[in-house]
Amino acid sequence: MRAVVALERATSEHGAKATGLGGLRRAGLPVPDGFVLPASLDHVDLRAAVDGALDVLGRRSAVAVRSSATDEDGPRASAAGQYDTLLGVSGTDAVVEAVAACRASSTGPRATAYRAATSGTPARAPSAADVAVVVQRLVDACAAGVLFTGDGRTVVEASWGLGESVAQGAVDPDRWTVADGRVVERRTGSKRTRVDRSPAGTTTRDVPPSDRDRPCLDDDIVLRLAALGHRVADLCGGPQDVEWAVDDAGTVWLLQARPVTAALPAGGRERASGPGPRAERTPSPAHSDGVRLAGTGASGGRASGPARVVRGPDDFGAVRPGEVLVCRETDPAWTPLFGVVAAVVTETGGLLSHAAIVARELRLPAVLGAPAATAVLHDAGTVTVDGDAGTVATA
């Protein structure tokens, strides 16, 4: 049996995610303690291995269980959100089930579709034997999110609670841009929901109205995050996509670091200091009433096509090649549609969400955080999405 590996001892055979986190822990950066279950650890030995490792980590700790596959977190393909991550897992039985889910997701529809879209061919799916799994103490976050370094700036997006709501594009996050050691742009989102740990793992609940439009971080913490992001980038040798969390004591924790696979669109960065997303009527060349929606330009480029409002997986079969996907939000299960549509428009989500990252990798124009898009663009006919300007216009 291949032994369980302490996170700080992870090597390249354990996948890029585990290797990166292990390197950051060795460098003394604030990464939650954890361990790696090697891909070669078979099901027969898995339970005993997990049981022993939890004795060391602490059985009273809820954990995060994340895949560390051979084709994740690479310099050209992140596989952002394409493998399962399970948060708030407690006990041997639940961890074993979570590990199995992470491994099985390697051959699931979203990972398979992503692999085909990024490689141009139906690339071989990693088997369970290729998927190591990272188990870490879960940080009970008061606020969390994602930051990107590179191009002389650090962009930080955040919301209340666990970072899942930011990564999955379920909220309109707060955003800051840091350059030369100071905050140069800031935009406060409308954070209507939050994800927190619960006895069942996680739960989603409403954010009190008084907190929805209040920044979830102060500038001091934003600057600390940016400084940590630069340290990570220096250690890793290039711009980094970093997931992080801040606990109730104000401690910043680094949860994941991987290379930035596609640069942020310039327009998206510039809009960070502007007003929130809006909808406005604009005259078309034919002087008929047209509609222009303004959101966050999350992936550059311009494309036109018939608007297709999709409210959930039951609508997937109706999507046709060349249409513009319009939806409230996109979680990782929607990735197969990204290889079909001409552009993406959502009502929530930020520059650093999984959907935005995948859209940039596929060079798919995307505008996220466009208010009431599903209602305004329903039966709108042909729409034009400008991912650089962050606008969606009807004829």
Taking the CA atoms of 341, 347, 352 and 353 in sequence, report the sign of the dihedral they define.
Answer: negative
How confident is the model at residue 59, as a pLDDT? Answer: 84
How confident is the model at residue 284, as a pLDDT? Answer: 37
pLDDT above 80 for 279: no
**Residue 287, Cα to own-chain centre: how many angstroms?**
41
Report the pLDDT averaged over residues 197-213.
95
37 touches 57 (CB < 8 A) = no
Report the pLDDT averaged over residues 89-100.
95
How confident is the model at residue 280, as a pLDDT? Answer: 42
How confident is the model at residue 178, as a pLDDT? Answer: 98
Pairing between β-strand 302-309 and β-strand 324-327 as defined by DSSP bridges: parallel
Q: Which residue has the higher pLDDT, 269 or 75?
A: 75
pLDDT above 50 for 287: no
The pLDDT confidence band at residue 331, using thresholds 50, 70 and 90, is: confident
Tell me the per-residue pLDDT of 332-377, one tens digit each, with 9 for 90 and over.
778 889 989 999 999 999 999 999 999 999 999 999 999 899 999 9
Taking the CA atoms of 178, 183, 189 and 192 in sequence, report the sign of the dihedral they define.
Answer: positive
How confident is the model at residue 121, as a pLDDT? Answer: 55
| Per-position DSSP letters for 297-366, written without gaps between them | EEE--EEEEEEEE--SGGGGGG--TTPEEEES---GGGHHHHTT-SEEEESS--TTSHHHHHHHHTT--E
Single out the residue of 161, 355, 156 nearest to residue 245, CA to CA: 161
How confident is the model at residue 274, as a pLDDT? Answer: 40
> What is the C-alpha separation between 111 and 105, in angstroms, rounded?
7
Tokens describing residue 363: 């060079």
Which segments of the chain does DSSP mark as H helices, in order? Answer: 15-26, 43-57, 92-104, 109-119, 164-167, 209-212, 219-236, 266-270, 335-338, 354-361, 373-376
Q: What rounded mean pLDDT belongs to the chain?
A: 89
Prediction pTM value: 0.90
264 touches 271 (CB < 8 A) = no
Domains and CATH numbers, the chain: 5-137 (3.30.1490.20), 141-259 (3.30.470.20), 275-394 (3.50.30.10)
Tell me the per-residue pLDDT of 104-125, one tens digit each, with 9 for 90 and over.
998 888 888 888 888 765 555 5
